[in-house]
Amino acid sequence: MKIINKILKFFRLVNGDNNLSLTNIACIIILFKLALIPQYGLEDLGVLFVVLLNYSAKKVITKDKKQEEVQEATDYTKMKDDIKDLKDKISSVAIATGLMRKP
């Protein structure tokens, strides 16, 4: 099963979640069709345009999602606020128990 998964990932027939990527499959099919037929018409070019448009839109959408995930992962403001609150609580407990003087 691992070999089949590697082959599918190599040809980009599955995405990162191991789901079939219909846009990649459609893109491969239309490119093979255009490569094999000697003469093609306007409808073939229209199909190619639609497939490439879907492919580009998918790339833009997944890129935006990845950028949002990276931005959320590197957003340290919430963590800094939590650390400040924790320091305040520790100092108030220390003052209450007499381990520290009031500033």
In a domain, 103, yes or no: no
pTM metric for this prediction: 0.50
- The CA distance from 45 to 31, in Å, is 10
Residue 39, domain member (yes or no): yes
Q: Report the pLDDT value the prediction gives residue 102, as an integer from 0 to 100.
A: 59
Pick the residue with more confidence: 17 or 103?
Answer: 17
Which residue's structure tokens are 């403001």? 77
Boundaries of domain holding 24: 2-97
| Count of structural domains, the chain | 1
- The amino acid sitting at 86 is L
Residue 51 forms part of a structural domain: yes
Within a domain: residue 102? no
Residue 74 lies in a domain: yes
pLDDT given for residue 47 in this prediction: 86
Specify if 57 maps to a domain.
yes
Could you give the CA distance from residue 36 to residue 44 in angstroms, rounded to a whole number?
A: 12
User: Is the residue at 92 inside a domain?
Assistant: yes
